[in-house]
Structure 1
Amino acid sequence: MPAIREPSEPMTTVIAPEPDSKTAQPDVKAPPLPVVAGERELRLDLFRGLALWLIFVDHLPPNILTWFTIRNYGFSDATEIFIFISGYTAAFVYSRAMEERGFIVAGARIFKRIWQIYVAHIFLFMIYLAEISYIATSFENPLYSEEMGILDFLKHPDITIVQAMLLKFKPVNMDVLPLYIVLMLFLPATIWLMRRKPDLTLVLSLAIYALTWELDLALPAYPNGVWVFNPFAWQLLFVFGAWCALGGAKRMARILASRITLGLSIAYLVFAFYVTLTWHVPQLHGYLPRWLESWMYPINKTDLDVLRFAHFLALAMVTVRFLRKDWPGLKSPWLRPLILCGQHSLEIFCLGVFLAFAGHFLLVETAGGAGLHFVISMTGIVIMSCTAWLLSWYKVEASKGGKRPIAAASADMIGSSP
């Protein structure tokens, strides 16, 4: 059965399963995505928080909650949501800083934030290694070290630690922050050009994406292979998010409001759902034409396959169309944990990586059933939500003391303020 490679899985593509023997008038009420200055865009916080929860659940061994993650119902998964929103918020916040303070100051702030994320990644790396090593030693099970990809560190720590600092060595589940660091390195130039020629910037991003597939561009990993998330390909989603933030979504308002666009998006989502269903129900596989399978597979996550990108676009189109910025439910206490996690994404992501292995260990050692899987998954989500609440409470208290105002835009991964 084919599967889309998560950071904890050995494969990075979906392999085909073996076969058996006139535009409608726009709806002016459809909301574009741009954020009004001084107003917090809770939809971004909501879906970034949701992406963090989904990433955590997907990093655990398969359980009942895994079937509630989007990777089982289409080609894309939480990673696409996370990278798009990161590009959107980064461009929104730092473009405003560049307009007010100039390129040099804004660039300095971006690089300061890159350093902070880098330090967080290295700190998480050390804590993660300690967690895995302690459990592997205490329970005399070296398979944990092999499964989580740290054997090379244990064999050659002097070499591997240097490779880790160069972002070439990454244990399982630690691929997202290095990708984000590399994407942020090019953010000053991206914003500078996008403020002047936004469509040209997006076209250049598309050209790099196409060249990545044509020339097989990739960054080498240590000790072998390439990065799980190829920055040359994933930059397209990041830049597209920035393009939407800096006016692209507003210019696309008529397209987003079109019933034809909505119909095509829904049709593609249904198609993607059926294809993924064939991975779990082999009897349905025979209804897919051979030529279609030949064209689709493999569906490559490492290089952001066009089918994955299109699936994300369809999801985003439907979401923006039906989930209004002023929807009262965004203020509901039931969604507050998701929104708080999205507002503190760097800390919650790091915590989620740590908790995922702890949960993985408990499930392996206890051989628990579906009930224990559910309890561990929900416990992790509760811990993440409580931590986000504490971080939010601290920021509010700090702002009362005049230390630092809370940014209006949702920009945690790029700094709480530009």
Structure 2
Amino acid sequence: MTDQSSTATLSRDVPARPGPQASPGDVADEAPGTTHTTEDGPPGSAPQPPSVRPRSSSRDHRIDAMRGAALLMMFVDHIPQNLLNRLTMRNVGFADAAEIFVLLAGYASWLAYGRGFARNGARDTVIRIARRCGKLYVAQTLMLLVSVFTIREWRRFSPVPVDFLEPELAHGVSDLWRVLLLDALPANLNILPLYMVLLGAFPLIYLLIRVSRFLALGLSAGLWLLINVDPTVNFPNWLDPDGWYFDPLAWQFLFVLGASAAIEAGRHGGDLPSYRWLKIAAALYLTFSLVEAFPWAQWGLPELRPFALPSPDKSTLAPLRLLDVMAIFYLVQSSSVARTLSHSRLGQALALAGRHSLEIFTAGTVLDLFGRLVFTTFGAGWPLQIVVNGVGLGLLFLVAQFYERRRVRQRAAAPGGGPAVEA
């Protein structure tokens, strides 16, 4: 999903001729993990001839694998009684899988649509973005309807806490229209609306980057900073007076950083530039984040936090969370070791899930609901822990395999063997 065409000359901050196309497939219907290069050198320099441009010899699966890992952690984290969530990102640092998800969405959206503007033109790309937003809305609506129906039916046989769905929706459907219009966002059903807003704003983001990538980053950072200073600036949410749990006006900065990272990686053979001092700084920060965020008491260990900082606010994407996810992303995307690991059996399994992230996220959200209902009704002992996690993760990989086989068949049937899935 990395279409591009010749249009007017791009800004020096935007690769004018991106590298190989990436395969279709994540939440943004784009191609995420493909190794990509660009013919542009440093800003202001002449394009380098192909013979001296760095190129990787194989596909880069790191983005797909990171996205797959984030999706599986979301499945685990959204079942509060799940003991497995003690091992996920949120217990070993300030950030969690949601930050990874949104950052990679920005990265992959540039590959899918930023380069698509240059290849296919504005009209075709905007249509593709609108079509993708429509798919996200359908997935959101499907998850909502399944949740409402399941909870109402389950309640016939066993009590269900109202916090499984907001009380206003748990006892009736008269206000369902508010959710369908995104005027009300229930808990655990709020990240796809965020992505719809960010993807819908992508044409504006693209225009700003085309003028100057650093101008776009500066304006985006300024808006993020404003929200952190005044968290009341948010989209309205009928179910929550504080607004959207993921404030789009703050989280857009992470999305724009992801898009900018895709541009930078495109100039360096698919890797972010490797600086030893920056890697050391990132590793030290992540060590600090681990010590501060780790649930020492939950594991029966002595408290080792040096500052005992309060949990940084997730709604506004607090600075500690932002630095955490950026440090992780930089270490992975600047590492040849991480590239090699993404080709391992585990890396390929995660990448398989990452290539079909909309389907995995939708299925995972529905399975989360059933997992919570099972634990609430029958207890959360070890036997059910094993069953819920084993069945849930197994089903998610079956979903990924199903859509991967379908993708392969569509590619084979497409003229010239090219991608048959809309990117």
TM-score bracket, shorter-length normalisation: 0.7 to 0.9
2:299 pairs with 1:300 = no
> Which residue, out of 260, 283, 303, partners 2:277?
260
Q: Once the 2 structures are TM-superposed, how far is the Cα of residue 195 of structure 1 from its aligned partner?
A: 2.8
Q: 1:363 to 1:297 in 2, by over 3 A?
A: closer
2:209 pairs with 1:194 = yes
> What is the distance in 1 between the residues matched to 2:386 and 2:263?
41
2:286 pairs with 1:269 = yes
What does residue range 286-297 of structure 1 map to in structure 2 within 5 Å? 288-289=306-307, 296-297=309-310
2:242 pairs with 1:229 = no
Name the residue aligned to 1:377: 389
Q: Once the 2 structures are TM-superposed, how far is the Cα of residue 37 of structure 1 from its aligned partner?
A: 6.1
**Per-residue CA shift, 1:38-84, capped at 9, x if unaligned?**
97541111111111100000111333321221111110000011111
**Could you tell me which amino acid in structure 2 is paired with residue 234 of structure 1?**
W
User: SS state of the match for residue 342, structure 2?
Assistant: helix
Q: Which structure's residues are more often helix, by fraction?
A: 1
**Could you tell me which amino acid in structure 2 is paired with residue 45 of structure 1?**
D
2:238 pairs with 1:238 = no
Q: Once the 2 structures are TM-superposed, how far is the Cα of residue 318 of structure 1 from its aligned partner?
A: 2.1
Name the residue aligned to 2:406: 394
2:343 pairs with 1:331 = yes
> Which residue, out of 322, 337, 352, partners 1:309?
322
Q: Which moved more, 1:102-111 or 1:362-371?
A: 362-371
> What is the distance in 2 between the residues matched to 1:181 and 1:358?
26
> What is the distance in 1 between the residues matched to 2:399 and 2:114?
30
Name the residue aligned to 1:148: 164
**Could you tell me which amino acid in structure 2 is paired with residue 260 of structure 1?**
W
Name the residue aligned to 1:24: none
Name the residue aligned to 1:219: 235
> What is the distance in 2 between the residues matched to 1:304 and 1:312?
10
**Per-residue CA shift, 1:320-378, capped at 9, x if unaligned?**
24354751x43334433321111111111010010011111112222141242133112
**Preserved CA contact (<8 Å) 2:60 2:270:** no
Q: 1:298 to 1:361 in 2, by over 3 A?
A: closer
Name the residue aligned to 2:220: 205
TM-score, normalisation: structure 2: 0.80
> What is the distance in 2 between the residues matched to 1:96 and 1:255?
18
Q: Once the 2 structures are TM-superposed, how far is the Cα of residue 286 of structure 1 from its aligned partner?
A: 7.6
Q: Once the 2 structures are TM-superposed, how far is the Cα of residue 298 of structure 1 from its aligned partner?
A: 4.9
Q: Once the 2 structures are TM-superposed, how far is the Cα of residue 114 of structure 1 from its aligned partner?
A: 0.8
Q: 1:406 to 1:154 in 2, by over 3 A?
A: farther
Percentage of pairs with the same residue: 26
Q: 1:265 to 1:333 in 2, by over 3 A?
A: closer
Name the residue aligned to 2:22: none
User: SS state of the match for residue 393, structure 1?
Assistant: helix
2:90 pairs with 1:71 = yes
Q: Once the 2 structures are TM-superposed, how far is the Cα of residue 317 of structure 1 from its aligned partner?
A: 2.2
What does residue range 81-160 of structure 1 map to in structure 2 within 5 Å? 81-139=100-158, 141-143=159-161, 146-155=162-171, 157-158=173-174, 160=175
**Per-residue CA shift, 1:205-244, capped at 9, x if unaligned?**
0011011123331112113321111101111111100111
User: SS state of the match for residue 300, structure 1?
Assistant: coil
Q: Once the 2 structures are TM-superposed, how far is the Cα of residue 191 of structure 1 from its aligned partner?
A: 1.4
Q: Which moved more, 1:380-389 or 1:120-129?
A: 120-129
User: SS state of the match for residue 379, structure 1?
Assistant: helix
Q: 1:116 to 1:266 in 2, by over 3 A?
A: same
User: SS state of the match for residue 84, structure 1?
Assistant: helix
Q: Which moved more, 1:277-286 or 1:220-229?
A: 277-286
> What is the distance in 2 between the residues matched to 1:288 and 1:164?
43
Structure 1: give runs of 5+ residues left out of the alignment.
1-32, 409-415
Q: Once the 2 structures are TM-superposed, how far is the Cα of residue 249 of structure 1 from its aligned partner?
A: 7.2
**Preserved CA contact (<8 Å) 1:65 1:374:** no
Alignment RMSD (CA, Å): 2.8
Q: 1:352 to 1:403 in 2, by over 3 A?
A: farther
Q: Once the 2 structures are TM-superposed, how far is the Cα of residue 254 of structure 1 from its aligned partner?
A: 11
Q: 1:335 to 1:97 in 2, by over 3 A?
A: same
> What is the distance in 1 between the residues matched to 2:271 and 2:73?
31
**Preserved CA contact (<8 Å) 1:34 1:244:** no
Structure 2: give runs of 5+ residues left out of the alignment.
1-32, 39-57
Q: Which moved more, 1:124-133 or 1:35-44?
A: 35-44
User: SS state of the match for residue 156, structure 2?
Assistant: helix
**Preserved CA contact (<8 Å) 2:137 2:196:** yes
Q: 1:307 to 1:405 in 2, by over 3 A?
A: farther
Name the residue aligned to 2:186: 171
Q: In the comparison of the two structures, how many residue pairs are matched?
A: 369
Name the residue aligned to 1:29: none
